[in-house]
Amino acid sequence: MSEHYLLRHRSVPHIDRLDVYRSQGGFEAFHKAVTSLKPGEVIEEIKKSGLRGRGGAGFPTGTKWGFLPNTLWPHYVVANADESEPGTFKDHEILESNPFQFLEGLMIAAYAVQAQRAYIYLRGEFWQLAQALDQRIAQLEADGLLGEDIFGTDYSLRLFTHLGAGAYICGEETALLESLEGKLGQPRLRPPFPATAGLYNSPTVINNVETLTNVPLIIGRGADWFRSFGTDKSPGLKIFSLSGCVNRPGNYELPLGCTFRELIYDHGGGIVQDHAIKAIMAAGASSVLIAATPEALETPMDYETTLEKFGAPLGSASIIVLDETVNMAWLAFKTIGFFKHESCGKCTPCREGTFWMNQIATRIMRGKATRADIHLLENVAQQIQGKCLCALGEFSIMAVLSSLKLFAKDFEQLIKVEHDG
């Protein structure tokens, strides 16, 4: 097995212990940043690396850090550990087994924007991880890596964990901030963006766990090292969460730009019972379905190509594989059910539209739908499109519209026999 950098516990046993992590060069990047780099230099290095947000949007991380105005204080950094996209389970593994590298990344990010407080927002189900993180933060404080005047400089930093209450929407950064402030988790209006008015109305950086886990590597080994992986526009390594009808589901750390075929067949061991592959969801439940043609399988997985070729963003790279036994109407039904359950209810199209789609999809699955219902489903989905307050509502129709477009026959199989007259 090749060397792992993000899932480093797979290469170095017990790296979740502080002494082991430090013996492997842990916190040297943080030390280097705090003692010998100016905050702006850290941001420059991240910009140079081309690191893009691993939470799903793929926004350049260094650019995001650079947005914080130096006229408004305090600054905050928030780690988004709400990992709740169905099919995504990479952050969980990092937090569980390689937590110090993530924490170091968070600390470097905090230094880069001169935040003295950083928060780790974890989904409520991660309560054990939160407890473990709390212990590790205490260890770092005991070791003088966190607290006042770190490494004898005048930089001070404290970290806190915060548990959500089990809402998918709280992975959306502004809903996350609301929840972190103790309010009902509903997305905020943008602008203003968190970079100027985020947590407690202060400039705030919000980064995904995996994004932050890349940071110590870049500061420690340099942007050029980082760029030696991946593609020009999507450099670096990425953890692909592979699930669905594959023989070996799991997290795979691979360079961006590797193909679906490599992931699914070379690493994932191919399709269960050697069934034919039918479709791929690249971004969990929020995916636009990709029909798994041979051409599609050869497509590199990066932030540009899948979007350009299939209109399907890579998102958080949670690759769900669907084989010929799966009816895509059923798949649409499942995603609709998920989004209906998770809609925060703030904006009308998402609140009402997901509920309505769920009613129609349920009729379809029960064999009680007519052809007109399929048309209605498509129409309702189109009515939601482009009208929502945040991305959740827009994501709720991705699988619906793409499955209707690519796999219309799957729906027609389920409609009730229509009698004339």
Partner 1 sequence: MTDKLVHLTIDNIPVSVPPDTLVVDAAKQAGINIPVFCYHPKLHPVGMCRMCLVEIGRPLLDRASGEFVRDADGAPKLQFSPKLETACTTPVTEGMVVITNSQKVADARREVLEFILTSHPLDCPICDKGGECPLQNLTMEHGPGQSRFLFDEKMHLDKHVPLGELIYLDRERCIQCGRCVRFQNEVADDPVIAFSQRGRALEIITQSTPGFDSIFSGNTTDICPVGALTTADFRFAARPWELKAAASICQHCAVGCNIVFNVRREALQGGRMVIKRVMPRQNEQVNEIWICDKGRFAYHYVESPQRLTQPMIRKDGALIEAEWDEALDLVAKKLTAYGASLVTLAGGRLSNEDLFNLYSLTHTQGGQAVLYSYMAGGDLTAQVGIPPQTDLGKLGAGCVILVIACDLHEEAPLWWLRIKAAAQRGASLIVLNPRTTRLDRYARHVIRYEYGAELAALSAFQPQSRGDLPEPVRSAVKTFQEAENVIILYGSEGLGLQESKALAHACAGLLIKTYHIGRSNNGLVAAWHNANLQGAWDMGFSPINNLAETLSKAGVTYVVATDPAGDDPQLAEALQHSGFLVVQDILMTETVKMADVFLPAQAYMERGGSYTSGERRLQRFYPAVPPPGNTLPDFAITARISQRLGRTAEEQSPARILLQIAATNPAYAEMDYQLLAQVHEQQPLMGRHDLYYGGTTYENRQGLGAHLSTAASRVEPLNIPDAPPPPVFPVQEGLLTVVPTTRLYDRGSLLIHSNLLHQRLAHPTLTMHPKTAEAYQLSRGQTAVMLLEKTPYRVEIDLDEDLPHGIALLPRSVGIPLNAPQAVKLRPES
Which residues form the interface with partner 1 (CB under 8 A)? 167, 169, 184-186, 189, 340-349, 351-356, 359, 376, 379, 383, 386-389
Minimum distance of partner 1 from residue 389's CB (angstroms): 6
Q: How many residues does the chain have?
A: 421
CA dist., res. 339 & res. 359, Å (int): 13
Structure tokens at 48: 């140079």
Which H or E element spans position 31?
helix 28-36
When the beta carbons of 54 and 340 are compared against partner 1, the nearer one is 340
When the beta carbons of 180 and 242 are compared against partner 1, the nearer one is 180
When the beta carbons of 188 and 238 are compared against partner 1, the nearer one is 188
Q: What is the 3-state secondary structure (H, E, C) of 107-144?
A: HHHHHHCCCCEEEEEECHHHHHHHHHHHHHHHHHHHCC
When the beta carbons of 52 and 340 are compared against partner 1, the nearer one is 340
When the beta carbons of 12 and 365 are compared against partner 1, the nearer one is 365
Minimum distance of partner 1 from residue 340's CB (angstroms): 6
When the beta carbons of 97 and 385 are compared against partner 1, the nearer one is 385
Minimum distance of partner 1 from residue 379's CB (angstroms): 8
Minimum distance of partner 1 from residue 194's CB (angstroms): 17
Minimum distance of partner 1 from residue 373's CB (angstroms): 10
Minimum distance of partner 1 from residue 357's CB (angstroms): 11
When the beta carbons of 159 and 389 are compared against partner 1, the nearer one is 389
When the beta carbons of 113 and 380 are compared against partner 1, the nearer one is 380
What b-and-e string marks burial along 109-141, b requiring 16 or more CB atoms within 10 Å of the CB? bbbbbebbbbbbbbbeebeebbebbeebbebbe
298 three-class SS:
coil
Contact indicator for 80, 55 with CB cutoff of 8 Å:
yes
Q: Read out DSSP for 326-395?
A: --HHHHHHHHHHHHHHH--S-SHHHHHHHHHHHHHHHHHHTT---HHHHHHHHHHHHHHTT--SSHHHHH
Minimum distance of partner 1 from residue 105's CB (angstroms): 31
Minimum distance of partner 1 from residue 333's CB (angstroms): 16
